């Protein structure tokens, strides 16, 4: 019977993910992972065809981590969009390196903006939003789109700069934007064209 492997594939993935969290994706390489695990680079090269394969796995792990974070409601379950928005921004502040890796590393090359909004993982959120605010599915999607780009802009500013995170102020901005978007959608676009 061959000896049990001292370094497992999961250990390598976890070490790479920890490097991502603390130092950013630029630091994640076979040598740094080996240093973290106190081993040679041989186990890394054994389990993975190259760093691109490992980084692809890390991306999926980071995406699942991000999704779990933003979907862990606790503030305002009656308004899932505000809750997700503030958690998305909070994630960008708390996990800057992961946020940058997920959303600012050209992983969306050759995609359209609407593909992000129409992701199947968002369906449950859109359904809850539609029911909670009494919007049609199309209106819920339009509302999500309007708020998402505002939220992402704020999150990006905070992730890329040493700015003060004033959660109360940001939550107020989101509420105003949310209410304005809801009123516009419920009133119908034709009634609001005169203000543009």
pLDDT (tens digit per residue) in 106-163: 776 677 777 777 777 778 778 877 887 888 888 888 888 889 889 999 999 999 988 8
- Does an H or E element contain 191, and which? helix 189-192
The whole-angstrom separation of Cα 23 and Cα 41 is 19
Fold of the 1-62 domain: Arc Repressor Mutant, subunit A (1.10.10)
As a dihedral over the C-alpha atoms of residue 59, residue 64, residue 65, residue 69, rounded to 10 degrees, the angle is 140
Taking only the tens place, the pLDDT of each residue in 36-50 is 999 999 999 999 999
Predicted TM-score of the model (pTM): 0.84
Quote the strand ranges of the chain, DSSP E: none
C-alpha to C-alpha distances, 168 to 7, 26, 126, 163, nearest whole angstrom: 45, 33, 25, 15
């Amino acid at each position: 019977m061959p000896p049990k492997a001292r370094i497992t594939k999961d250990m390598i993935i976890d070490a790479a993910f920890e490097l991502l969290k603390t130092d950013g994706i630029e630091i994640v390489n076979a040598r740094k992972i080996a240093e973290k695990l106190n081993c040679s680079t041989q186990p890394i090269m054994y389990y993975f065809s190259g760093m691109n394969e490992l980084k692809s796995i890390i991306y999926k792990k980071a995406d699942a981590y991000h999704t779990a974070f933003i979907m862990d409601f606790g503030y305002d379950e009656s308004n899932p969009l505000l809750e997700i928005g503030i958690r998305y921004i909070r994630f960008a502040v708390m996990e800057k390196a992961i946020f940058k890796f997920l959303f600012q590393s050209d992983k969306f090359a050759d995609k359209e903006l609407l593909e992000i909004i129409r992701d199947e993982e968002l369906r449950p959120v859109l359904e809850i939003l539609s029911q909670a605010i009494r919007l049609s599915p199309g209106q819920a999607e339009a509302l999500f789109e309007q708020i998402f780009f505002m939220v992402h802009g704020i999150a990006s500013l905070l992730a890329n700069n040493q700015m003060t995170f004033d959660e109360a102020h940001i939550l107020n901005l989101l509420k105003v934007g949310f209410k304005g978007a809801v009123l516009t959608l419920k009133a119908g676009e034709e009634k609001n064209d005169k203000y543009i």
